[in-house]
Structure 1
Amino acid sequence: MGLYMNADARPVPPAGHVCWRRDDPAAFQAAARAFLSAGLAAGEQVWYVAQRDPAAALVWLAAVPGFTDALRDGAARLVALDATYVDDRVADPAAQVRAYAEATEAALAAGHTGLRVVAEATGLVRTPGQREAFTRYEHLIDRYMRAHPFSAMCVYDPQELAAGAVAELACLHPRSNADDVLFRLYAADQDRAGLAGELDQSTHDLLATALDRADLRPVDGRLVIDATHLRFVDHRSLLRLGEHARGLGAVAVLRTNRAATARLVDLLDLPDLRVEAAR
């Protein structure tokens, strides 16, 4: 579920939903170029959404093979943040998903195979209220991507945000370069959620926040979570998952083949949490 490495041993985000913490501008530019280049090669329309002056990005985006020609023929676009999102305001999660769904359909109608976006989104998450709304959007758009030819690299600058802000966002992406964010809660197949990484004492508060903002919906009284990529989970995290499911009037079902997780759930004897073997 992580990033892969290119020939120069630099991390490169694959297609899908990626959170990129921009600690190193040069590394970010290399990753963004690779992400957009792969989209053009696949016949997708690609966008670069800039927080400030979109044209300034051309200095380094010109190194993407075919990008300049793609700008001329409409296969690539440079977009200002406030033309794509509502900058410096609180996002409407459902409306933002609809906007990208319409853009994806327009790209398909124009003969492209999908839409791929690199978005500098720091300006949308500066305040706690903005982050709460935007993290809800992140999970909704993650679910949209599971079934539609849309992918995005969401870029956040930690130097412009409060401590811990990037973690709130990164944990709701299936892929991220933020290695210190230990777990990921993301959309999985068949309207299920997925959990990957590690859940321990240091992640309890972040897990509670992520569960609330992801707005997971039970089906037939079951909140099914694909935990096949969850390497470790402590008892307090299991309690939190059970409590969250109970609050939704459901039973949490962890799908995993890790015997240690099943044994711990049995020992805790939690009525709101079960383990099923992953298929």
Structure 2
Amino acid sequence: MAHPTTVDHLLPGDHVCWTFDDHERHLSALVRFLRGGLARGEQVLYLTDTFLPDAFLAAAQAYGVEVREPERTGQLQVTTAEKSYLAGGAFDAERALDGWRAAIARARGQGYSALRVAADMGWTVRATPGVERLAWYEAQANRIFAGGYVMALCCYDRRLFTSAELDHISAAHPATARAGAGAHEEWAPMLRVRRDCEGLRLAGAADRSNSEALASVLHDLVADARFLPDGAAPLVVDLAELTFADTGIARLLASAAAAAPGRLVLRGARPALAELLAVIDPARAHAACATRSQA
């Protein structure tokens, strides 16, 4: 399973598929995640399917984390899948996404520095109406999390899923912490996606393993770019910190720019990506090599 210390490296805006196969180490990771959020003045939500809420809180207390006062004030909230994802008896992906928007608004309104969420996803293997849209939901959630206020740790017990299922799910996350991650060397999210008023910033590496996550955010960006008023500065996809992109990602980026010509531009591509873009879309290759300051 992923090492518990991997959760220490998450930042607001990260959305990670975190796999485990041992409940004790899973508990250790969750407690680390909780402790870090409380210490930073973040609101912490844990949507459990592995532990009963009271049992988890007692265990966290035994690990040395004071949970009673944060629970009283609402800084810490622990609930079950049945009362969150499955409220109403089925999984409604759109309702779940709206729920995250509402949770962000509440946390911001209450003055929390960020919203930190851990979610056990074991409930998805049960015969639940709507669960077939899980991968779509995970991909769409990136459009919300990329705003940089929420960090989300989606916990998947790999004993419950096939390798193919986990591959499908992980592609909807910018980063995945699989078995062995962090055990021998420091782990960091593979890709960080951040959306701001100027456009989108990508940092890390992008390939088939996280392509669905990136595609969702780019789709959102294209839609916004098309509605820019005439004469407005274009939205920018900043590629300066994107250290690797495979051919599929290069095509995805080129298609996004082509879908909103003049309103969405690629900037700061490193040489290898610039060469791919030059082959795929020569008309935009020069702009893609420029930095924001040069544009």
User: Which TM-score tier does this pair reach, normalised by the shorter chain?
Assistant: 0.7 to 0.9
* Unaligned runs of at least 5 residues, structure 1: none
Length, aligned pairs only: 264
Match runs of 1:260-271 below 5 Å: 260-271=272-283
**Counterpart selection for 2:32 from 17, 31, 34:** 34
**Counterpart selection for 2:220 from 216, 219, 240:** 216
* Unaligned runs of at least 5 residues, structure 2: 182-186, 229-233
Aligned to 2:268: 256
Aligned to 1:276: 289
Give the structure, 1 or 2, with the largest relative contact order (CA under 8 Å, sep 6 or more): 2
Q: TM-score, normalised by structure 2?
A: 0.69
**Counterpart selection for 1:46 from 44, 67, 85:** 44
Match runs of 1:77-92 below 5 Å: 77-86=77-86, 89-92=90-93
SS of residue in 2 equivalent to 1:216? helix
1:131 aligns with 2:134: yes
Q: Distance in 1 between matches of 2:106 and 2:25?
A: 31
Q: Distance in 2 between matches of 1:22 and 1:238?
A: 32
Q: Distance in 2 between matches of 1:71 and 1:195?
A: 35
SS of residue in 2 equivalent to 1:188? strand
SS of residue in 2 equivalent to 1:226? strand
State the one-letter code of the partner of 2:140: Y
Aligned to 1:103: 103
Match runs of 1:106-125 below 5 Å: 106-107=106-107, 112-124=112-124
State the one-letter code of the partner of 1:259: P
In the superposition, relative to structure 1, how do residues 160 and 217 fare at CA in structure 2: closer, same or farther (>3 Å)? same
Q: Distance in 2 between matches of 1:107 and 1:182?
A: 24
Deviation of 1:235 after TM superposition, in Å, equals 4.1
Q: Distance in 1 between matches of 2:76 and 2:251?
A: 47
Deviation of 1:50 after TM superposition, in Å, equals 0.6
Aligned to 2:5: 10
Match runs of 1:158-237 below 5 Å: 158-178=158-178, 184=191, 186-190=193-197, 192-199=199-206, 203=208, 207=211, 209-214=212-217, 215-218=219-222, 219-220=225-226, 224-237=236-249
Match runs of 1:236-255 below 5 Å: 236-243=248-255, 245-246=257-258, 248-250=259-261, 253-255=265-267
1:56 aligns with 2:55: yes
Answer whether contact 2:42 2:116 (CA < 8 A) is retained: yes
Identity %: 23
Deviation of 1:134 after TM superposition, in Å, equals 1.4
